[in-house]
Amino acid sequence: MQGNEACALGALAAGVRFYAGYPITPSTEIAEILASELPKVGGVFIQMEDEIASLSAVIGASLGGLKAMTATSGPGFSLMQESIGYAAIAEVPCVIVDVQRLGPSTGQPTSPAQGDVMQARWGTHGDHPIIALCPSSVRESYELTILAFNFSEKYRTPVILLLDEVVGHLRERVELPAPGSMEVVERLRPVVPPEWYFPYEEGAMDVPPLVPFGEGYRYHVTGLLHDRAGFPTQRLDEINPWLQRVNRKIELSLDDIVRTVEENTEDARAVIVAYGATARSAREAMHLARQKRRKVGLLKLLTIWPFPEMAIDHLVHDTNVETIIVPEMNLGQLRLEVERVVRGRATVRGVNRADGEMITPQQILEALGYGK
C-alpha cells in the first residue's frame, strides 16, 4: 500500500465525511481515493477552485457537524495559513494533510523535502497552539491520520499531518489495525438546552462542547477575539481568559498529545533525533553503528508540535548521551528546537539536504564520526 492511500483509508476509518481540496503533487492520490470512496459512505467530496477556498469549505463543513479534511503540499499549504488561523481562533476541528515537497514556491513538485516544519508551527500569524504529527511509514500514515482526527475533535483545534513525498508515495507491505480496533473520538456535545449554551464557555473543562449548526443552538463564529458567545469583544477580562484557555488545553495535555519512539537509547552515547522519511535512514544508520559496537540510539518524533521537549531533555539529563544528530531534508529547522532544549549539555549536529534527495544512512554515520 502507498502512504497516501493509507492516509485516505485512515481518514475514512476515523469517520471523515467531507473533503474539499485542490489537486497538487505529491498529495493528489488522497483526493483521488476520497473522491471515489466518500460517496459510498454518505460523505461529500468537492474539488474547490483553490486551496484558500478548500480549507474555508472544510471549516464550514466541520461547523455543520462533519469530520472534515483537506490535503495539499507546500504551495497550497502557504495559501491555507489564513484559514488555519481562523480555525485556531474559532476552535473549529479540522485536519490538514501537507505532503511536503521541495521548495520554495513551485520548487520541484516530485522531489521530497521537510521544509514545512516551521511553517506548520508559525505559518499563520498570532499566538496560538498547534498540533502537528509526522509519520515515517505507511502504517504510521494510517494510524496518525486517525490520531489527527481524534486530537482535532478532542481539543477543538486544527491538526496538521506532515507527510513528505517519500512517505506519501512509498509502497510497502503493511498490516493495518483490525477495523474498530483503534479508538475513534467524537467531539463533546452540550448537555444544556439551547438558551443556556455558550460555544466558548470558561468552565471546568478547557474544551467547551461544540454543537453543529442547524440543531437549534444559535451562536456566532468570527475571526475576531470574542466573548463566550462568540461575539467580538475588546474587553480584557474576556480576551485574556480565552487566550489562556486555548493555550492551556494543549499545554496540560502533552502526555496525551506528544508521541515519540525510542530505540537503544538506554546505553547510548549518541542519539539520532529524526522524523518522517529521514527516520528510516536514521534507523538504518543506528543498526549499522550497532553492528560496529557503537552505542547509538534513535529518538523518532511522531509529534512535531508541540515539540517533544521532555523526551529531548530526558536524553541529556538522565542518560549518558554526549552527541545528538538531527538529520533533516531542510537546512536545519528542527535542529534549532533541539539546541534550545539541550542548552549546551550535549553536542548537537545537523545533517541537512535541501536538494530533493534523501539523506542516506552513510551521511548520518559520517556525522557520528563512524563513516569511511
Residue 21 · residue 48 · CB < 8 Å? yes
Q: How are beta strands 16-21 and 131-133 bridged, if at all?
A: unpaired
How far apart, in whole angstroms, are the C-alpha atoms of residue 358 and residue 329?
7
Give the bridge partners for 326, in sequence order: 350
**Residue that the C-alpha cell 467531539 belongs to:** 187
Whole-Å CA distances, 149 to 10, 50, 124, 131: 9, 23, 21, 11
Q: What is the pTM (predicted TM-score) of this model?
A: 0.96
First-to-last C-alpha distance (Å) of the chain: 36
Residue 130, all three cell numbers: 498547534
The three-point CA angle 180-146-175 to 5° equals 60
| Distance from chain centroid for Cα 253 | 15
- What is the residue-level pLDDT of the chain in tens, covering all 372 positions? 999 999 999 999 999 999 999 999 999 999 999 999 999 999 999 999 999 999 999 999 999 999 999 999 999 999 999 999 999 999 999 999 999 999 999 999 999 999 999 999 999 999 999 999 999 999 999 999 999 999 999 999 999 999 999 999 999 999 999 988 999 999 999 889 999 999 999 877 899 999 999 999 989 999 999 999 999 999 999 999 999 999 999 999 999 999 999 999 999 999 999 999 999 999 999 999 999 999 999 999 999 999 999 999 999 998 889 999 999 999 999 999 999 999 999 999 999 999 999 999 999 999 999 866
List Cα–Cα distances, 254 to 131, 183, 259, in angstroms.
10, 18, 9
pLDDT (tens digit, 9 = 90+) per residue, 117-134?
Answer: 999 999 999 999 999 999
What's the angle, vertex CA 203, arms to CA 201 and CA 206, rounded to 5?
85
The residue behind cell 522524523 is 275
Rounded-to-integer distance, Cα 26 and Cα 193, Å = 46
Amino acid identity of residue 372, one-letter, is K
Of 11, 301, 280, the closest CA to residue 142 belongs to: 11
Q: Is 348 helix (H, G, I), strand (E, B) or coil?
A: strand
Size of the chain, expressed as the number of residues it contains: 372
Q: How far apart are alpha carbons 341 and 151 in whole angstroms?
A: 25
pLDDT in tens, 255-283: 999 999 999 999 999 999 999 999 999 99
Phi, psi of 97 (to 5 degrees): -95, 125
Nearest-angstrom CA–CA distance, 70 and 47: 10
Helix 3-14 vs helix 28-37: angle between axes, to the nearest 10 degrees? Answer: 40
Rounded distance, CA 321 to CA 163, Å? 29
Which domains are delineated in the chain? 3-169 (3.40.50.970), 262-368 (3.40.50.920)
**8 Å CB contact between 114 and 330:** yes
Q: Look up residue 254 and give its DSSP letter.
A: H
